[in-house]
Amino acid sequence: MNMADQLKYKEIFSQSVNEPDVFWGKAAESVVWNKKWDKVLDDSKKPFYRWFAGGELNTCYNALDYQIESGRADQTAIIYDSPVTNTIQKISYKELLDMVSKFAGALNSLGVKKGDTVIIYMPMIPQALVAMLSCARIGAVHSVVFGGFAPNELAIRIDDAKPKVIISASCGIEGKKTLPYKPLLDEAIKIASHKPEKCIIYQRPQVKAEMMASRDLDWNDLMKDAKAVGCVSVAATDPLYILYTSGTTGKPKGVMRDNGGHAVALKWSMKYIYDMKPGEVYWAASDVGWVVGHSYIVYAPLLYGCTTIIYEGKPVGTPDPGAFWRVISQHGVSVLFTAPTAFRAIKKEDPNGDYLKKYDIKCLRYLFLAGERLDPDTYHWASDMLKIPVVDHWWQTETGWPIAANCMGIEKFPIKAGSPTKPVPGYNVQILDADGNQLPNGEEGSVVIKLPLPPGCLPTLWQDDKRYLEYVTERPGYYVTGDGGRFDEDGYIFIMGRIDDVINVAGHRLSTGAMEEIVSKHKDVAECAVFGAEDQLKGQVPVGFVVLKAGVDRNPDDIVKELVQMVRNELGALACFKEAAVVKALPKTRSGKTLRSTMRKIVDGKDYVVPSTIDDPATLDVIAQAAKTIGYGKK
């Protein structure tokens, strides 16, 4: 019996934070190393900590070749389930390895080598996973950009990552609409200062992309002549990927993930957090463009020898609110991980669970939810319907895997609605006040993690150590999560939401600061405030209040329409910026600071105290009135 199976949460957690080198050294034995590490935890350059320094491995080898050597050649690695194209395709570990080793050879033939960067801009199709794993195979660093992101956002990422090659597809499919990617990609490359040498385009039957002879290559043509290649050994501390996350300023932050710590932490999490067994079917209903897709559609399930599902569809409308139940019952899913938004959408369309009754989903052991706060209402609905543990867990793009969870593979705690239970082993979570003092249970403050962060988190930001320091110098010795929260008397953590201005729209983190930057570019706008309002379906949606320049006498509705279009053009449709009102003035402090949190309370219909620092209290009535006109505030 594994030692961890005999120990309860308390002992495991205690060892993970008090003897991290012993704890993670043991966990690392489940990964195949080409060269063993010299040191589990290298803390010689604090606050830059590195895990498994001196060690060498290959992530793709661990995810594919090793699984085949362990007897999984014929086991299904990927189930591609696409209701929007009416396709179900199963790819075995052996077939996936053949595709990956050939595509890795194709990348090699274009001059892509260890340390080069490659941007992947793709929909939810198996080729996206093939592209990611092929980069890992040859030691190239991939950066996946969510398919359909607006050209401007893609251009910013091209200039930061400086890819040698960009891999894309002719289109994505959103419900019944096809979204051609190639015009977006061409426009992004035009805007970007950095130009990739080549673009590889996977032509889908729904849309044929126009190719540029000198630069663009057809995926299938490349694969015809490609020679399979083996794995390149990389240092544990070498980068595996870059994933851009919204910063609070216009420039996104490139979260860098290394190879060694990432493989160890993700493999560990499959057993101890999700209680999976190799060979079972795991489904993360997310997108490869987000961190959940990287960690739990691609890497963790394959590193652990599971079958993973790529689902190209929605929770409702493809074709109905029974979509998730069909996938679970048809493919024998053991664990589902998705965002609360998905369940709010299902609940809205099928409140009594009539569609659920059509399917046998006895195979499903747990539902894990993350990406935004799980409201108690949705938790109770899902729990009553499914009659299995519904596990809220909390993490960030930066950490790459859960910070707090009810670890189903260690000790199952009673669930409390509204709490992701307790810190996961490896994460020494604390609540600090404004002066950096630790707060007792019950008191709310800033949620921080004592350094070092466990393996699998961000060792730094891509080529931006200075900006990484912002996370770890505000409270020396701690990583600042940017969330507020508290522990209760039983040691359960409650996360109360962002301290900064990044909001969570349907599981997507978006910067209201970036939206304000766009809105304020409008020729008629003098100033504006954008913040997240509570929304039953999406968790939060951005709401804007706009003050026009003096002398502007156009129809405010026309201006609002233009603002919505501007945000859509620059950030993409997923920003969900649809509601804005024109007002005479914004409430401010005497020092000129806009009172966003007070405005947010007004919009959410909550009680608020008029701040003592306010310049003109009458402006609060103006906001309350304007909120009503767009359907918010006290009913």
Domains and CATH numbers, the chain: 3-12+15-53 (no CATH), 503-629 (3.30.300.30)
- What is the mean pLDDT of the segment spanning 315-335? 97
Pairing label, strands 56-57, 234-235: antiparallel
The packing angle between helices 182-191 and 151-161, to 10°, is 60
Question: Nearest CA to 209 among 247, 266, 171?
Answer: 171
DSSP 3-state of 325: helix
Q: What would the two tokens of residue 298 be?
A: 């691609």
- C-alpha–C-alpha distance, residues 347 and 330, integer Å: 21
In this structure, is the dihedral angle defined by the CA atoms of residues 605, 608, 612 and 618, taken in order, positive or negative?
positive
C-alpha pair distances (Å), 317 with each of 254, 321, 573: 34, 7, 18
- CA dist 295 and 259 (Å) reads 12
| 402-411 mean pLDDT | 97
pLDDT of residue 250: 58
Mean pLDDT of 19-32: 98
Q: Give the residue carrying structure tokens 């020898």.
A: 305
For the record, the structure tokens of 566 come out as 């501007």
Strands 333-338, 141-144: parallel, antiparallel or unpaired by DSSP? unpaired
Strands annotated E in 170-250 = 171-174, 177-180, 198-202, 216-218, 234-235, 239-245
Spatial separation of the C-alpha atoms in residues 620 and 529, rounded to whole Å: 13
How crowded is the C-beta side of 18, counted as CA atoms within 13 Å? 6
pLDDT at 551: 82
More confident position, 574 or 42: 42
Q: What's the whole-number mean pLDDT along residues 570-584?
A: 87
Higher pLDDT, 529 or 57: 57
With a cut of 50, say whether residue 164 has pLDDT above it: yes
Gyration radius of the chain's alpha carbons: 24
Q: Which of 320, 310, 311 is nearest to 359 (CA)?
A: 320
Beta pairing partners, 82: 87
pLDDT tens digit sequence for 533-563: 888 888 888 999 998 887 889 999 999 999 9
pLDDT for 501:
66
User: Residue 331's Cα: distance from chain center in Å?
Assistant: 24
- Predicted local confidence at residue 1, as pLDDT: 37
CA separation for the pair 45, 35 (Å, rounded): 23
Supply angle C-alpha 347, 289, 137, rounded to 5. Answer: 135
Tell me how crowded residue 213 is: count the other CB atoms within 10 A of its CB: 6
CA 395, distance to chain mean position in Å, is 9
Single-letter code of the amino acid located at 75: Q
Q: Is 515 helix (H, G, I), strand (E, B) or coil?
A: helix
Residue 146: strand, helix, or coil: coil
Distance CA 467, CA 455 (A): 20
Q: How confident is the model at residue 4 (pLDDT cuts 50, 70, 90)?
A: very low
**Residue 512: what pLDDT?**
80
Question: What does the pLDDT read at residue 431?
Answer: 97
Lowest mean pLDDT among 19-23, 392-396, 414-418, 522-526: 522-526
Among 39-48, 174-183, 221-230, 496-505, the range scoring the smallest mean pLDDT is 496-505
**pLDDT reported for residue 520:** 83
SS3 419: coil
Q: Is pLDDT above 60 for 3?
A: no
Angle between helices 151-161 and 556-571 (to 10 degrees): 30
What does the pLDDT read at residue 57?
98
Q: Does the pLDDT at position 55 exceed 50?
A: yes
| Number of residues in the chain | 635
pLDDT at 593 over 90: no
Q: Is the pLDDT of residue 56 over 80?
A: yes
pLDDT number for residue 510: 78
- What phi, psi does 300 have (nearest 5°)? -60, -50
Please report where in the chains the tokens 């508290």 appear, as a residue: 486
Q: How far apart are the first and last CA of the chain?
A: 59
In the predicted model, what is the mean pLDDT of the chain? Answer: 93
Dist. CA 80–CA 117, nearest whole Å: 27
Hey, what amino acid is at 185? L
**Whether 240 contacts 141, CB under 8 Å:** yes
CB 337 within 8 A of CB 306: no
pLDDT higher than 70, residue 262: yes
pLDDT at residue 574 is higher than 90 = no
> pLDDT confidence of 77, banded at 50, 70, 90?
very high
Is the four-CA dihedral 531, 535, 539, 541 of positive or negative sign?
Answer: negative
pLDDT above 90: residue 375? no
pLDDT value at 379 more than 60:
yes
Tell me what pLDDT residue 494 has.
Answer: 92
Q: Please give the pLDDT value at position 131.
A: 98
CB 274 within 8 A of CB 364: no
Classified as helix, coil or strand, 484 is: strand
> For residue 449, what pLDDT is reported?
98
Asked whether the predicted pLDDT for residue 442 surpasses 80, the reply is yes
| Whether pLDDT at 128 is above 80 | yes
Q: How far apart, in whole angstroms, are the C-alpha atoms of residue 208 and residue 189?
A: 19
Token digits of residue 364: 């499903």
Look up tokens 């189930």; give the residue: 79
Which tokens is 512 given?
């209201």
For residues 437-444, average pLDDT = 93
Going along 238-346, which residue ranges are E strands?
Answer: 239-245, 253-258, 281-284, 307-311, 333-338
Alpha carbons 621 and 624: distance in angstroms, whole number: 5
Please report the pLDDT score of residue 444 as a whole number: 84
The model's confidence at residue 7, banded by pLDDT at 50, 70 and 90, is: low
pLDDT surpasses 80 at 459: yes
Residue 174 vs residue 93, higher pLDDT: 93
